[in-house]
Amino acid sequence: MRVRVLFLLVTLAGGLIVGGLIDTFEDVLGAVLALAIFIPLVMDMGGNVGTQSSTIFARGFALGHITMADFWRKNFAREALVGLVMAVGVALVAGTVAFFWQGVPNDIPQLGVVVGVALFTSVFLAACLGFLLPYIMVKLGIDHAPGADPFIPTIKDFTGLLVYFSMAAWLIGVEV
């Protein structure tokens, strides 16, 4: 329980930091309320991908399919490629949906680009982090099972939302 609570505290701190990021972009969110609709999407898609990647690492490592010797060349490169393909696909679909659902009717066609790029960033980063963080923890002698997942959502939520709101402010022309 002590180990798990420690990592939950990391998640709590990370959530507060992400909340502070959203607070920083309050004017952008207030100017374009349609941005709020896609916040869960940016956060959840990356979270799911990160969890999938860390689970794939844990399973492969436990079964001996992933070794420290060939991690970068064989395993990480493959997971990064999978993450890249998923990120492009999700970004194109969600960006197109955002464009037609909320962008064009609200005279903000840039919303589709903002959603697409933020999702691309979040999904690709989560795939890489989901595989990389457990590897680093194993190298440091830390149990990766309870430890990797709290860091992945925090890092990718912060990064995905930073890209999301920064691009929205820039493309839509709202000052932060």
pLDDT tens digits for range 40-86: 998 889 888 988 998 899 899 989 998 888 899 889 999 999 999 99
Domain that includes residue 108, residue range: 2-172
Report helix, strand or coil for 109.
coil
Number of domains in the chain: 1
- pLDDT at residue number 173: 78
Q: With contact defined as beta carbons under 8 Å apart, do 3 and 146 qualify?
A: yes
Using 50, 70 and 90 to split pLDDT, how confident is the model at 167? confident
pLDDT band at 20 (very low <50, low <70, confident <90, very high): very high
Q: Look at 52-61, 75-84, 113-122, 150-159 and tell me which has the smallest mean pLDDT.
A: 150-159
pLDDT at 21: 92
Q: How confident is the model at residue 120 (pLDDT cuts 50, 70, 90)?
A: very high
What is the pLDDT averaged over residues 146-153? 74
- The domain that contains 93 carries what CATH number? 1.10.357.20
Backbone angles phi, psi at 49, to 5 degrees: -65, -45
* Dist. CA 8–CA 144, nearest whole Å: 14
Element containing residue 153 per DSSP (H, E): helix 144-172
| Bigger pLDDT: 6 vs 41 | 41
Question: Residue 87 — pLDDT band, cuts 50, 70, 90?
Answer: very high
